[in-house]
A = this chain, B = another copy of it.
Amino acid sequence: MPYFDTASAAPLHPVARQALLASLDEGWADPARLHREGRRARMLLDAAREAAAEAVGCRPDELVFTPSGTRAVHAGISGALAGRRRVGDRLVVSAVEHSCVLHAGEAHAAAGGSMAEVPVGRSGAVDPEVFAAALAPGTALACLQSANHEVGTEQPVAEVAEACRAAGVPLLVDAAQSLGWGPVPQGWSLLAASAHKWGGPAGVGLLAVRKGVRFAPQGPADERESGRAPGFENLPAIVAAAASLRAVRAEAAAEAARLRALVDRIRARVPELVPDVEVVGDPVRRLPHLVTFSCLYVDGETLLHELDREGFSVSSGSSCTSSTLTPSHVLRAMGVLSEGNVRISLPSGTSEEDVDRFLAVLPGVVASVRDRLGAPESPAAAPGAAGTLVVDALGKRCPIPVIELAKVFGSVPVGGTVTVLSDDEAARLDIPAWCEMRGQEYVGEEPSPKGGTAYVVRRVS
């Protein structure tokens, strides 16, 4: 049963499993104790730190282990902001950072600081010049992911690091999605990552802080992990995390080339096999194993369930798959379609056959979901008489508002408009995205007198 969601979590790498088992026996004691069990635990911890630091490209005393990537990001951001409080309180982040970065920024803003989001282009990457321009005086910290977790786009880390260096601003790189594939380009000041993304166990993140970076750990004091990660060290898992990082790195170049070819095939074939699909993310500067596309007129949750029934585990940024019923902030920042969104992230060892089977199954699954929703098979042709038309989709969830739009669109003449009334968050993203895909004009939105929002689209062809 192919599991295509390794960007969420990967099964434990065999090397990690071995290391975990061995260190359950050897590394359960408190490394702060003086007795032989404690000293043995300390040696294992030191060795794991050295191995991880080598893979990260830093000194062992610059790296601490945290309970998760999220906690590494939280500790890194709060510590760096506090360390540079005298410089200012401005935090600069890309708009497509992982939610743990954005949430840390929101907490900073709620406490009186400020956060600026650098927009991204349609590929999901920031423009280094735009990022550089955001580094206004008073900027205490900048954050940029190494690669995006939802669409796979690599960020121009080296260029942004250079801009940060020139502005005297430390750069925190969230390397969660990329560290297993290779080191982050030099120039970062802080780096965070998460072991369960590279085949290590859950319960381990890492935070590296370069010597010389002003850093003031926040929260209650603690003696462990240089005062940067309170609580008893999760030692067997740390040992396993370090061992698996080394193991996946040894296989990374060959496996990246193999998976990149499989992803290229998905990127090329999906739009040929499925009508009305938008493949998103940079086609070249991207993670080797990850590809995302969105399908017009499709309900993401139903699509996930249908693929699951066919044996494929994938993820989605559609609003209907989130607990808050809002589309992924990444897709929103990119301005791309969010309905019927599918993220595929291939684990190491994924076979060509599994990918081909996915490509064989997908078109039928999408078609059946569209059938059930009554999606238009192709743009309606006959122009109608009325110059304008209003579609009331209030109370209807993604993808219905876009489906209703598409159904009537052919009945207004060129030059006429369709106004869609909707109170679904996804419509704000998906109606403009539909216009982009169809070459029609998105006029804009206004409050609807009946509640919700009125989205206006003009037919230009």
Tell me if B29 and A24 are in contact (CB < 8 A): no
Task: Give the distance in Å from the alpha carbon of A78 to the alpha carbon of B230 in the complex.
Answer: 15
Which of B8, B11, B69, B203 is A203 in contact with, Cβ under 8 Å?
A: B203
Tell me if B313 and A37 are in contact (CB < 8 A): yes
Q: Which residues of B contact A323 (CB under 8 A)?
A: 223
Task: Give the distance in Å from the alpha carbon of A196 to the alpha carbon of B29 in the complex.
Answer: 9
Q: Which residues of B contact A235 (CB under 8 A)?
A: 202
Which of B28, B106, B202, B232 is A221 in contact with, Cβ under 8 Å?
A: B106
Q: Answer whether residue A54 sits at the interface, using C-beta atoms and an 8 A cutoff.
A: no
We find that the number of chain A residues with CB closer than 8 angstroms to chain B is 62
A17, A103, A194, A301, most chain B CB atoms within 10 A: A103
- With contacts A231-B205, A232-B194 taken as known, whether A33 is within 8 angstroms of B17 at the C-beta atoms is no
Chain A 183-202 near chain B by CB (<8 Å), digits 1 or 0: 00000000000101000011
Oligomer: number of copies: 2
Task: State the Cβ distance, A45 to closest chain B Cβ, in Å.
Answer: 11
20 A-B pairs in the complex with CB atoms less than 8 angstroms apart: A5-B30, A8-B30, A9-B232, A12-B28, A28-B201, A28-B202, A67-B234, A68-B232, A70-B230, A70-B231, A74-B220, A74-B230, A100-B222, A103-B221, A106-B220, A107-B219, A201-B236, A202-B237, A223-B323, A237-B237
| A residues whose Cβ falls under 8 Å from a Cβ of B | 1, 3, 5, 8-12, 17, 20-21, 24, 28-30, 33-38, 67-71, 74, 78, 100, 103-104, 106-107, 194, 196, 201-203, 205, 219-223, 230-237, 301, 304-305, 308, 313-316, 321, 323
